[in-house]
Structure 1
């Protein structure tokens, strides 16, 4: 009797939509910068506590949990209860960092954030992972409108960091801030970019990372990394681009924005957020209220629910990739549009 050996089992493939990473291949990164920064800060400050809505591993809060288990609170999948508990902890003098996905912090628990935390102006730090288009899971997990929701909340400070440098330096300043904060968290292997620019995070302040005569990019979050990449690419075409990084969305550094906008340069805003209610509208209103005549060109996500899929594909599709930024700027300037192969003749 002959026997047949079992076919070797194929390794189960993981779809790229499940990998929430926007880092370029081979790019310098730091692992879990938020978790490490919070754990380090907690060594010096016993009042620091951490909370998670059953997502510690996916918000890098597990680093803090493992270092300070007696000061970590697992609240389960209940963001409203977590925010209420964080408010109570702040009322008795502790400094809580409460982590979940941005969609749950904003869509699901806004009323608790607003009335339990922001109205009494408590020092509660909300940490929202997967902001904007940093996951391929689709609309249920893509927090593309979180800034629009939260910018209208009084007392709330909003930070959108570019990279691991921003995050590591922001954590102590958020803890020191007198009032509630919301951090758009970049988690996992986070690119390290700003260390090459002599940059220091300052809460409420923008930073000009490079100067340029022709175009000024006003960017926030991960789009500052893309702005710097696009500026370097455009330099090869003799387009001189300045980059103003705006890590604090609220309060906005209006003086810095007006300083770079009061020129005849093309002003382009870049954000990982819907074009409605985010950085572009904040910059445009700042310029309009000041009577400055600069036109603002937004690079942002469209006002629609986005598709699921692989992040590189989605960033190309929705205009956040470096290639898309370069093409957009060339088209706006005119005469520098990228060459396109002509369509084949019809037969």
Structure 2
């Protein structure tokens, strides 16, 4: 009988609600739900609304704490957004949750006409952004930032971790007008507490400096960028990481200042299609400012993505730590 090579355990995750946390990584449970409860203690005008997805957007915690301020609208996202607009007109501040694909594709016109055009105080928090679900194109919101960036008057936020979500919730409430935030739910990685971080709408933050490459990132890609920077350190490559949590309005002055430093490759990394997201926004800002560094873009392809386990998909589409590290080493020569 011939010898056989022992097989490593196959890495799999639930396609729908898989955690993006690495094994052993620190996490915090349901940061959005707990932050909204705290906000509800301070503001009686805050209400929670969802389209049959309270459990899967952590809004069920708010519903349990404030059942009289929770509205379950059923699987009718257009009705959800229209009702939220009506609530806002009457003085409430709705925090609306659903999946990002349903808000940005199915209910886009209702948000555009009923909420954004009227500049109403509706806060939209949407789960499964980008490639954080393995259920395929029906649930992968790979173009949501492009859609919401294009909407006049809409503030767009892509938070990195649990701490930023907790900080973003009261900041959204303090901001006058509609806000769209990508939502990480369940056990969310905790990263930014190590950097003394404080979220501000419209502000980017340099998390670490380095002379060789500047990684400009948002959302979960900032977590990946920090991991990549640590890996590059071992090869004496100094990587800076500029976290840009607000996609609109963009912190152009900080981006231009950091990209203007000579001798650094500039890489934009985002969990979004190559079209219409952070990469194009940064490229336009640099072009208009007359700044022309060597520039690369890590993003999802302009394609309908496969279904499967998230670790496999992140490798396949180039947003895992290992694949990103290899690409940066190749670019840096």
Q: Same fold, TM exceeding 0.5?
A: yes
Shift of 1:96: 0.4
Q: C-alpha separation between the residues in 1 aligned to 2:42 and 2:225?
A: 36
Give, in angstroms, the shift of residue 187 of structure 1: 0.4
Give the whole-Å Cα distance in 2 for the aligned partners of 1:79 and 1:160: 21
Structure 1 position 21, deviation (Å): 1.2
Distance 1:18 1:116 in 2: 30
Matches within 5 A, 1:1-347: 16-263=14-261, 264-334=263-333
Look up the SS of the partner of 1:123 in the other structure: coil
- Any conservation in 1 of the 2:264–2:294 contact (CA below 8 Å)? no
How far apart, CA to CA, are the structure 1 residues paired with 2:279 and 2:13?
Answer: 33
**1:20, 1:48 → 2: CA distance?**
29
Scaled by the length of structure 1, the TM-score of the pair is 0.91
Unaligned runs of 5+ in 2: 1-11
Q: Residues of 2 paired with 1:30 and 1:202: CA distance?
A: 21
What TM-score does the superposition give when structure 2 sets the normalisation length? 0.95
- 1:344 corresponding residue in structure 2: none
RMSD: 0.9
Secondary structure at 2:96 match in 1? strand
Provide the rounded CA distance (Å) in 1 between the counterparts of 2:232 and 2:13: 33
Q: 2:205, 2:83 → 1: CA distance?
A: 35
Q: Distance in 2 between the 1:25 and 1:232 partners? A: 17
Q: Distance in 1 between matches of 2:157 and 2:289?
A: 24
Residue 54 of structure 2 aligns to a residue in which SS?
coil
Q: Give the number of aligned pairs.
A: 321
Aligned-pair distance for 1:15? 5.8
Q: Indicate if the aligned counterparts of 1:161 and 1:184 stay in contact, CA closer than 8 A.
A: yes
Structure 2 SS opposite 1:218: strand
The 1-side partners of 2:191 and 2:323 are apart by 20
SS at match of 1:229: helix
Q: Retained in 1: the 8 A contact 2:13–2:310?
A: no
CA distance in 1: counterparts of 2:329 and 2:14, whole angstroms? 31
Taking the aligned partners of 1:89 and 1:20, their CA distance within structure 2 comes to 33
Larger Rg over CA atoms: 1
Give the CA deviation at 1:239.
0.4
After TM superposition, the runs of 4+ consecutive aligned structure 1 residues lying more than 6 A away are none
Where 1:16 maps in the other structure, the secondary structure is: coil
Which range is displaced more, 292-301 or 127-136? 292-301
* Distance in 1 of aligned mates of 2:144 and 2:207: 26
**CA distance in structure 2 between the aligned counterparts of 1:222 and 1:203, rounded to whole angstroms:** 17
Structure 1 distance, partners of 2:76, 2:190, is: 33
CA–CA distance in 1 between the matches of 2:221 and 2:67? 35
Is contact 1:20-1:130 (8 Å) kept?
no
CA contact (8 A) 1:21 1:135 kept: no
